[in-house]
Every structure is written in C-alpha cells, then in structure tokens.
Amino acid sequence: MILIIVVVVILLIVWIISIYNRLVRLRVEVQQGWANIDVQLRRRYDLIPNLVETVKGYAEHERGVFQRVTEARTQAIDAKGVAETGAANTLLGQALGGLFAVAENYPDLKASTNFLQLQTELANVEEMLAAARRYYNSAVANYNATQNTVPTNIIKNVGDFSEAEFFEEEDEAVRAAPQVSFQQ
Amino acid sequence: MTLQQQIRSNRWRTLLLLLLFVVLIAVILLVVYPFVDLGVLSVVGIALIAYGLFMWFAAAKVVASLAGAHPITRDQHPELWQAVEATAVGAGLPVTPAVYIIEDPAPNAFAAGRDPKHAYVAATTGLLDLMGPRELRAVMAHEIAHVRNRDIRLMALASVLAGMLLILSDILLRVFIFGGGRNSGNNPFALIGVIVALILAPIGAAIQMALSRRREYLADATAAEITGDPEGMARALAVLEADTRQVSHVGRATAHLYIESPLVKGRGLTGSLGGLFQTHPPLEDRIRVLEEAGGFTLDRSFLATVPVQ
C-alpha cells in the first residue's frame, strides 16, 4: 500500500516537473524568437543612415522625408518592450515608404548601383524580419495557449511565467521595401 | 486537419515506426540467439556498433560526396543564400545551415547532417533555373523543415539502423548456411532463422520508406507554416511534377533525402506493393494535402512560363 502511494507521489512529481519544463522550453522559444527579431531590427536600423545619405545625394531638398525617417529610426531604437517596438517600427516602415516614394521621382538615384544595393539589402532584411516575426508570434501563441490549459495554469504560478506579447507591425513596413525579384 | 495537428500526429507515427524498427532488431537477436555462438554474436555486435557510430558521424559528408554536392559562399548564389537564410530564421533555427550546390540540370534538393548545428541544404543548379523566388523559398523551407523537425537526424539514424539490419541479416545468413554456431548445420530451427532474417530485412526497408513518406508530408506542412505560403509550396511541387528529368548520382541509400523522389519512376516494383518501397508519396498527393490544409486550389497555368523538360 505504502509502495503504491510512493509510486503515485513520484509519478505526480515527475508529471509536474515535466509540465514546468515544458513551460520553460516554450518561454525559451519566445525569448529566442525575440532575439531573432532584434537581430533583424538592428540590421534594419544600421542600413537606414546609408540609405538616407544616398538618397540625399540626389534629392537634397526633400528634407522633411529625411527628418521623418531619421526621427522614426531614433524612436524605434529607443523603444522598450514588444508593443512599443512594434508601434515604432510601424512608423519607421511608413517613413521608409515615404522615402522610397520620393526616390521614384529621381531616375538617376533609382539607377545608381549604391541605391539598388541598399534597396536589395533592405528588402532582404524585411523578408527576414517578416520570417522572424512569424516564428516569434507562433512561439508566443504556443506559450500563451499552454499557460491557459489545466493544470498548467496552476503550475505556472510556481515559476516566473506570464503571457508574452505578440509583435505586431503593420504591413506597411513590408510593403515599404520594394519587392526585389531575383529572377533573371 | 490543421497544419499543427498534422505535425503532431506525424510525430507520433514517426516515433511508433522507429520503435518498431528497434523491436525488429531485438526480435532478430532473440530468434537467432539459441543457434549462434555467443563469441561470434558479440564480435558481430561490436563490429555493427562500430559501423553504426562511424556512419553516424560521417554520414553527412558521405552523402554530400555521393550526391556531388559542394559548399558555396553567399556571393556565388545570393538569391539561394537569402532564401535559405530567411527560411532558417522563420523556422527559428539556431544557426543558418551551410548551402551546397549540385551541378545537375534536374531540379531537386535535399538536406543532411546529424543535427541542426551540423546541417546543410543542397540544391541542384536545375532547381535554381526553374524556381521563382516564391517557389525557391518553399523548397528551401521544406529542406529547413527537415532540419528543424530533426528529420535529418532521424533519417540518418534510420539509414544507419537499416544498414546495420542489412549487414546483420547478411552475416546471419552466412553463419547459418556455412555453420559456425554451436547447433549449426542439421538443426531444423536454423532454417527458421534464415527465413525470419530473409523476411525481416525487407520489412525493415519498408518501414524505413514509410517513415520517409510521412516525413515528406510533414515537411511540406512545416514549410507552408515557415513561409506562410502553402500555395508557394504547392507551386514548387507542381514544377517538380512537370519536370521529368532525374538527378544523376543517386542510389537507394540517399534517395529518401531529396524533396522529390530522385529514382526513375516505374523502375522495380510498381502499384500498391511498389508503393511500400517508395521513399516519397506521389507529388499529386502532396499537392492535394497542401490544398486541403491551405484551403486553396492550385492554378497550374503558371507552369506554361516555366522551362520544364
């Protein structure tokens, strides 16, 4: 009888530990997902000064657009937390959209190798950012859904588990970057 | 069935199939145990384990050289590199796998390596010629899915196990026929052993193939999730279906790695029995599954602009 109780208790403990470990694993996935987004965001921020300088070389008097992009970039870099970063990057995407719209009016600029290369690089970063965001958001969905099921919702109080935020950025950011076709 | 459910049920089936494989080896050992000298058995066992370990660590390199794949840098194929990098990020891989190229006009691709950190994806030059950006991403996402779902690890393990099984049954056959066991020769049970070994080897192969087919559906589903574009995956498969060229330098041993079965259709067994030994489900079935899961109907008219042969 005692043996049975001992076995049941041990199984119960193992079960609780496995649920706890699952939560930890899902949290790590969310954190990794966020780290991936951060890497791509940094690449995006790093490209922008170059891009602005290049466009400036051809379209010097469009100061409003440059200022908007530069300010949006600073805000995005300073943003804290998922929601704020998402909102700031939405603005940055819109500002970039404005920059590319201006670039449309300058054929010399559009033909310059430097601009084309930056355009391609930015398109690459935007693609990776979209991919990283997809992964992060599905990790968040997974993590949050697991926390809300019985008995995980009780066990989660043992550790430092709270619901993660989705990274939402309006599609403008993706659309702002021109679609570069790789087909020759 | 949603993509998530599909992934989950596929994982269970895979686990089950792998378990069967292990049980199979155990059964063989139990059956032959009374007839074979313990010393012989342990020598065979040690040799088999040594073979298994060697293949485990060398498999990826062996596969690359068998397939004629060589590593490239970003500058050699920036568009392929970008597709691999973006899909690797989308899959949440810790590192971007190395990119290999196979000089071959037939479109195909595979992934190999014993874990995500030692993985690579390989594409033929033919694939790069035929696939647009959308389809190329789908194919790379399929390969990255094999990496992320640990298919490459499982398939490496499965082929090492299958190889061990084959060698074991081969050795046992010789032992039974030419003697060497303590009750060898006239023992009628020896014959049973031979028959068991003869039957079990193909069953092992069939299990490995079933495993491989499951993995293809799962990788298609995962790829659709990674790119967020199930239709792109279906389009890529439609291109592969339309092109009839076959990759050279492929043997049975590496066939299960490719995105499309690289073995000539109609060779060997066909029909439902032949289906047992196919490494890949028919492309039309894979496209249909994607259509059902993604809720779209593939419009094949775009194929008119793809230079398939």
- Per residue in A66-118, pLDDT (tens digit) is 999 999 999 999 998 898 999 999 999 999 998 998 888 888 888 888 999 99
Residue B210: C-alpha distances to residues A10, B20, B157, B233 (Å): 38, 12, 15, 22
The answer to whether A140 and A168 have CB atoms below 8 angstroms apart is no
Paired strand residues for B121: B99, B111
Residue A42 has pLDDT above 90, yes or no: yes
Q: Number of CB pairs < 8 Å for A and B?
A: 41
Concatenated DSSP letters for B155-168? HHHHHHHHHHHHHH
Contact residues, chain A, for B239 at CB < 8 Å: none
The answer to whether B96 and B153 have CB atoms below 8 angstroms apart is no
A138: contact with B, CB 8 A cutoff: yes
Q: Which pLDDT tens digit goes with each residue over B31-78? A: 777 777 778 778 878 888 888 888 888 878 888 888 889 999 999 999
A2-176 topology per CATH: de novo design (two linked rop proteins) (1.20.1440)
Q: Which pLDDT tens digit goes with each residue over A94-105? A: 999 989 988 888
pLDDT of residue A39: 93
Q: Which residue in B143, B216, B231, B260 is the catalytic one?
A: B143
Percent of chain A whose predicted confidence (pLDDT) is above 70 = 91
* C-alpha of B59 from chain center: 13
Domain edges within chain B: 3-294
Q: What is the chain B residue with the closest CA to A126?
A: B86
Close Cβ partners of B41 (under 8 Å, ≥ 6 residues apart) = B29, B32, B33
The answer to whether B125 and B101 have CB atoms below 8 angstroms apart is yes
Distance CA B237, CA B287 (A): 7
Residue A180 confidence class, pLDDT cut points 50, 70, 90? very low
Closest CA to B235 of B165, B118, B142: B142
pTM (2 decimals)? Answer: 0.78
Residue B193: C-alpha distances to residues B3, B26, B27, B29, B82 (Å): 44, 14, 11, 10, 54
**ipTM score:** 0.77
Sign of CA dihedral A54, A57, A58, A59: positive
Verify whether the Cβ–Cβ distance A128 to B86 is below 8 Å.
yes
A113: contact with B, CB 8 A cutoff: no
Residue B214 confidence class, pLDDT cut points 50, 70, 90? confident
Distance CA B252, CA B295 (A): 35
User: Looking up tokens 């060997």, which residue turns up?
Assistant: B268
Residue B269 confidence class, pLDDT cut points 50, 70, 90? very low
Active site residue B216: no
